């Protein structure tokens, strides 16, 4: 059995929210709504995506309306806060891991990975 693309898209949408959202913080409900809206509008099938940056990708994800891209870093010291620098690429790896764990748990060999196309687009491919 092969993974269906609607399942892949659904899982990436869930994973993006799990990794980048504030699920456990009721004070962040406005930010969560913003992210959920972006997730519902900006995760496209690669061959149907409006930008057609990579029509051979399974998914084309736009990172201009709330979904973090896969190339930036965040340094809390820039804002006067303590903490270490985090890299969006590390977070996107967790998104891939979330999706791949689902298929592994079903005993399927399907695996997926993201590749940044530029600072505003992330493509998802079958590994």
Answer whether 123's CB lies under 8 Å from 57's CB: yes
Which tens digits make up the pLDDT trace of 27-63?
A: 888 888 999 999 999 999 999 999 999 989 999 999 9
Per-residue pLDDT of the chain (127 residues; tens, 9 = 90+): 788 999 999 999 999 999 999 877 778 888 889 999 999 999 999 999 999 999 899 999 999 999 999 999 888 898 888 889 989 999 999 999 999 999 999 999 999 999 999 999 999 999 9
Q: Taking the alpha carbons of 30, 35, 36, 38 in that order, is the dihedral positive or negative? A: positive
Tokens of 75: 């340094």
Answer whether 51's CB lies under 8 Å from 62's CB: yes
Q: 23 exposed, middle or buried (CB, 10 Å; 0-12, 13-18, 19+)?
A: exposed
Q: Where are the domains of the chain?
A: 5-126
Place of tokens 């009721």: 26
């Amino acid at each position: 059995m092969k993974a269906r693309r609607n399942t892949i898209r659904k899982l990436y949408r869930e994973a993006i929210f799990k990794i980048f959202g504030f699920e456990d913080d009721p004070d962040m409900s406005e930010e969560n709504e913003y992210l959920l809206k972006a997730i519902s509008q900006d995760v496209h099938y690669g061959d149907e995506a409006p930008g057609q940056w990579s029509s051979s990708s399974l998914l084309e994800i736009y990172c201009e309306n709330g979904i973090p891209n896969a190339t930036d870093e965040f340094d809390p010291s820039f804002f006067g806060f303590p903490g270490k620098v985090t890299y969006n690429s590390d977070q996107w790896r967790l998104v891939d891991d979330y999706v791949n764990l689902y298929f592994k748990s079903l005993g399927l060999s399907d695996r997926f990975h993201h590749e940044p196309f530029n600072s505003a687009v992330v493509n998802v491919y079958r590994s």
